[in-house]
Amino acid sequence: MTSSIDEKLAFVTSVFPNKVKIEIVNLTAFKANIDEALGDLKIGSYLEISDNEGCKLIAIIESYQIELKERVVENDQGEKIKEIYNAYVLEASPLGTIKAGVFTRGGDALTIPPTEVKPANAADIKLIYETGFEEVEKFWFAKLSQDVNISVPVNGNKFFNKHFAVVGSSGSGKSHTIAKILQSAIDVEKDTRGFDFNNSHIIIFDIHNEYRTAFPEANFLNIDNLTLPYWLLNSDELQELFLDTEANDHNQRNIFKEAIVSEKIASFNGEEEKKKKIHYDSPLFFDINNVLKIASDKNNQMIDTGETYASGAKSGQSKLVQGSLYGKLTNFVSRLENKINDKRFDFLLGDSSKTITFEDAIKQFIGYNKRKIKDETGNEIEVEKSNVTIIDLSGVPFEVLSITVSLITRILFDYGYFYKKYLNDGVDLETPLLLVYEEAHKYVPKNDSAKFNASRNAIERIAKEGRKYGVTLGIVSQRPSEISETIFSQCNNFIAMRLTNPNDQNYVRRLLPDTLGNLIDSLPSLQSGEGLLLGEAVAMPSLVKIDKCSADKQPSSNDVKYLEIWKNEWKNVNFEDIVNEWKK
């Protein structure tokens, strides 16, 4: 038998603003046109739809159906008869058009009707990424999942100067993805000592101490060497740390505020006019121990009435009465005293926090602090530069986690703000910062819990205003549905990896800037290291495989191999050393 439509292997049956329906007439012949490198025809495969004007629409297959249809064919005797056949109907999402060797996002340049449908070839797909933006702007860290011979660049400027997010369930490859992105950003030629530093400045808030192995040359800060000056806390952070905010006791609030302001004034050695302008939030030193003494004195205050006892054992002694706050600040004084004497808070309230300068507090976070590292020959050398600063939050007490993140974040935002103010108009920002928040849902949650107010407010401020001052965010989370919407909705670029929780899938579907339809449904089945790469920095939404980190620079985020370890011989545990570490 012969068919009047056999010469056309596939044709467009309907066109919608964000969808194209295609019927494949001869599946075997159609699939014969697929490049060997691109594999078989499947969901996620690329199609090329051409017209008579030399324009090609590139679309990605979202779904397909097999339908029984009827058509008229000629039999061997030349008679026209009806035949039932399997029709393969594809639904594809338009991504963009190629015309005159240039790819443009959007699918409205195709004339009606399209004349040919066939699988896109590797050369055309490669052309999309090669012509998406200027060579100098290209930044590489992934390859196309369908063909790993095709590298998928992003526009580096748009990727880093517009906040990005990496989301995925545990084990999906988030940590390796972040490590590879940041390693690519700081990759430069080595100098004669084995080290060289470009002008990148990256700060990683590492809540599980995963990234030190990925960046062995990084400036590493934890509670043993981190110095966070409490006197730079703002009024909200100070009250969250030292006051019982739920008690709503105006006495403790007033005494606390008055004591801090008076101590800032007392320690200020500047001009008298500037001294008059000092307020609660002024970034000036004050001694927290003196604040405790003032509060304690108020709590035990006895006031001389000016009278004396006329007779008895106290004859001639002054008459004293209790002050208005006598005994009313006991809980406050006890709370303040406990915080100051708690050794876990030494990085924040200890002696080093009283002696560190404002300048040194800033320098430690952006890689300008002196530290010792080993060069490629194993010799120890001193350096004052670091492209990456890792802030290990794993040892920070939970009670001050939000305040710690808030203070560092706020210092870095204010640094960017005042640096820009210091520069002359028209001068580019000289040290733009990227702040990466691992497991961001832990300190910028969607709920209104008061204990996260400080960190949520600080990071939301950067999300809304940071780009103007050269401070941008990298948000990493396995629970995107639990992150503050203000923060997540400000991200312009996304890497969505495997997500198994329906709430997280729906949240990502709603917030992602590109309409991908059924492609989002593939999130639960992605392999480790695969992700949907989307946003303003991408030539077109792509399913990619993130490049692997080198074997000696991988994050320490691998799961514990229970079965292998359990098969080993019984281990004798040194409980004494463990308990001593516990007590530190």
Do the beta carbons of residue 167 and residue 533 sit within 8 Å? no
Average pLDDT in the 82-89 region? 81
> What integer pLDDT is reported at residue 471 of this predicted model?
95
CATH fourth-level superfamily of 154-227+356-501+554-583 = P-loop containing nucleotide triphosphate hydrolases (3.40.50.300)
- Token pair listed for 43: 């969901």
- Token pair listed for 99: 């015309």
Question: Which has the closest alpha carbon to 279: 300, 296, 257?
Answer: 257
Please state, as a whole number, how many other Cβ atoms lie within 10 Å of the Cβ of residue 17: 8
Chain segment 36-51, per-residue pLDDT in tens: 666 677 777 888 888 7
Segments making up each domain of the chain, as ranges? 2-132, 154-227+356-501+554-583, 235-343
Binned at pLDDT 50, 70 and 90, residue 5 comes out as very low
- Token pair listed for 77: 């005797």
Question: What angle is formed at CA 447 by the lines to CA 443 and CA 448, rounded to 5 degrees?
Answer: 95
> What integer pLDDT is reported at residue 188 of this predicted model?
57
Binned at pLDDT 50, 70 and 90, residue 192 comes out as very low
Bigger pLDDT: 268 vs 382: 268
Q: Is the dihedral of CA 133, 161, 184, 432 positive or negative?
A: positive
Average pLDDT in the 439-447 region? 84
Provide the 8-state DSSP code for 474.
E
- Point out the least confidently predicted range of 124-128, 392-396, 527-531: 124-128
- Token pair listed for 273: 């006019």
Do the beta carbons of residue 60 and residue 46 sit within 8 Å? yes
- Token pair listed for 169: 């369930």
Binned at pLDDT 50, 70 and 90, residue 287 comes out as very high
Q: In sequence order, which residues have a C-beta less than 8 Å from that of residue 269 and are 6 or more positions away?
A: none
- Token pair listed for 392: 């290990």
Binned at pLDDT 50, 70 and 90, residue 191 comes out as very low
CA distance 457 to 581: 34
Question: Which has the closest alpha carbon to 221: 212, 229, 230?
Answer: 212
Side chain identity at residue 410, one-letter code? R
**Chain mean pLDDT for the chain:** 84
Do the beta carbons of residue 28 and residue 84 sit within 8 Å? no
- Point out the least confidently predicted range of 197-211, 397-411, 522-536: 522-536
Binned at pLDDT 50, 70 and 90, residue 177 comes out as very high
